Structure 1
Amino acid sequence: MSRDIQAEGALKAWGFLFLLALIWGSSFILIKRGLEIFSPGEVGAFRIVAAGMILLPLSLPRLKTLNKRQVKNLIIVGFVGSFIPAFLFAKAQTQLSSSLTGVFNAMTPLFVVIIGALFFNARITRRNTIGLFIAFIGVVLLLIVKEGSGFGTFSDINSYAFFVLLACACYGVNLNIIKYRFVELKPIAITAISLLMVLPLGLIYLFAFTDFSFKLIHVEGAMEAAGYITILGVVGTALALILFNIMVKVATPVFASSVTYLIPIVAIVWGLFDGEVLLLGHYIGIIAVIFGVWVGNRR
């Protein structure tokens, strides 16, 4: 009986792993579809609004249980864990392919290590350092790939990649805050309430400072694009975070973190399917990034 239970738990963990890789890896193509009609700001704000609204049943009942310190930290988590990255990813993909954005996103675990060591007194190991160096080389290669001539120089760098790296740094701050300052709150509550904290700002920006409402009514294809962003917010942000938290419970944090290696693969497949072109230099950089992340996160 115990073996059957263990086998069932392992099967469930693998199921969550592949489902999350599919959901998060598909986020970048959904952003790309949203950008066909809406501006980066509109895509980012509507993503937050969709995610925050769907989690209201989980967030509102928990508000009265919070103290001032928790509220302050949840506001920070809302900004660095959801609000700011939503805008940064959308901005990056105005000049980056969805597949390469997905690869750069794989740097998140290493930013968790860097931020933890710099600001939260976390220990950085030799293996972390080696992984960081390998992944950094991969990122540099991806930044200087030049069509038709292999690798270019630093003057050929696509600066929009730094928007993705900044988003990864935000995630690094977010995960360290959750780890060190939220011992008493459950992860699902943190996700729901932190999104609630930034929901009003997302609503105000979307409907008072953009043309989102006008485009939704008057621009052909806007409803379809909004549908893609809704899926991005509801499934790619809200539901995925809940599934991730469940997976951590049925498996281990180390196993859960392995989703990082699958997300770029899904993003690349979607990109190629959508007609994006990757050069030989891209593949070399991609392998270096994923290998570096793997080395840096081994236990």
Structure 2
Amino acid sequence: MESKQLKWGYLLVLSLVWGSSFILIKKGLIGLTAIQVGSLRIIFAAVFLLLIGFKSLSKIPKEKWKYIALTSVFGTFVPAFLFAIAETELDSAVTAILNSLTPLSTLILGAVVFGISFQKRQVWGVLIGLVGSLLLVFNGAMNHPNQNYYYAILVVIASICYAINVNLIKRFLSDLTPLSITTGNFLILIFPALAILYATGFYDVMTVEKVQHSVLFIMILGVVGTGIANILFFKLIQISSPVFATSVTYLIPVVAFFWGLLDNEMLTSIQFLGAFIILIGVYLSAKK
């Protein structure tokens, strides 16, 4: 009973943290490029985690490091850049809604790649979720001609990366502590992130006031929305299932939508319908 209550507590906290991440990315893009946002997000998270979790690295067996490397790429590195690039064209609320496709991706990959069984109802859930996504994207493209909705494909790819990540963790890393996994991930990522940031010319503009304001938002995103949140998320995967853990994306759009309202974003009635259809599809795919 305690474990059941604990996993719902993790789910709620993560929805609040990650639901706020999209508006932080948007604010970061005011003074930074998408590549700089992705790099800084990883660097801030890495510095924080290495400070608090460096000793936990000794608990990772040598044979597990290949899975640590894979989860670092699929769970953090690729999505960090894809979301930042996507939000250069899409509203933060729309990006968060499309991110709710992650449980569907988890179900499909779990069945096809990892041999997890599924039910006919869950297949319907996948199809319904896809219909809702298409409705959301096409209506958004019609009503927001200034936004390039082809960038929605990047969010879908990111959701697939997350799905690969949670299945890898559940299958190969469940015996490690969440802090060990997360710290190992960012130990691997900090060096390529620093190299990429240097290549963007960030150090030439870092004294500009607008850039410094954006860096502050990304520092919060990196430490809280990436570092701390990943520790909680990996713990949630270990005490529940991959599909339940990714169901945090049901609640993320609600938080992101309210942040979007405060920042003068608004969805059309058809986009609301598309978002609702997506959540129905996700619910059907995740329901036991």
With normalisation by structure 2, the TM-score equals 0.90
Task: Determine if contact 1:132/1:292 at 8 Å carries over to the other structure.
Answer: yes
Q: Deviations over 1:169-204 (max 9, x none)?
A: 111111111111224322332122112111111111
Partner of 1:195: 186
Q: Which residues in structure 2 correspond to 1:123-202 (within 5 Å)?
A: 123-146=117-140, 158-202=149-193
Report the CA distance shift for 1:132/1:157 in structure 2 as closer, same or farther (over 3 A).
farther
Please point out which of 66, 72, 83 is paired with 1:89: 83
Aligned equivalents of 1:248 and 1:89: distance in 2?
22
Give yes or no for contact 1:144–1:157 (8 Å, CA) kept in 2. Answer: no
Residues 146/183 of structure 1: CA separation in 2 closer, same or farther (3 Å cut): closer
Q: Percent sequence identity over matched residues?
A: 37
2:205 aligned partner: 215
In structure 1, distance between residues paired with 2:248 and 2:285: 15
- Relative to structure 1, the CA distance from residue 115 to residue 58 in structure 2 (aligned partners, 3 Å threshold; closer, same or farther) is farther
3-state SS, counterpart of residue 159 of structure 1: helix
Change (3 A) 1:179 1:94: same
The more displaced of 96-105 and 71-80 is 71-80
User: Alignment partner for residue 254 of structure 2, among 265, 286, 289?
Assistant: 265
What value does the CA root-mean-square deviation take over the aligned residues? 2.6
Q: Specify the structure having the higher radius of gyration (Cα).
A: 1
User: How much does 1:7 deviate?
Assistant: 8.7
1:3 maps to none
Number of matched pairs: 286
Match of 1:35 in 2: 29
Deviations 1:59-107 (A, max 9, x none): 4323344344311111111111101100000000011100000001111
So what's the TM-score if we normalise by structure 1? Answer: 0.87
List alignment gaps of at least 5 residues for structure 2: none
Q: Is the 8 A contact 2:103 2:247 kept in 1?
A: no
Equivalents in 2 of 1:280, 1:9: separation in Å?
Answer: 36
Going from structure 1 to structure 2, the CA distance change for 1:180 and 1:223 (only over 3 Å counts) comes to same
Query: Is the 1:36–1:225 contact (alpha carbons within 8 Å) kept by the matching residues of 2?
Result: yes
Q: Which residue is equivalent to 1:101?
A: 95
Larger deviation: 126-135 or 113-122? 113-122
Give the whole-Å Cα distance in 1 for the aligned partners of 2:170 and 2:278. 25
Q: The residue matched to 1:96 in structure 2 has which SS?
A: coil
Write the distance in 2 (CA, Å) between the matches of 1:7 and 1:36: 43
8 Å CA contact retained: 1:56, 1:192: yes
**What amino acid is the match of 1:48?**
I
2:38 is aligned with 1:44: yes
Q: Which amino acid aligns with 1:111?
A: S
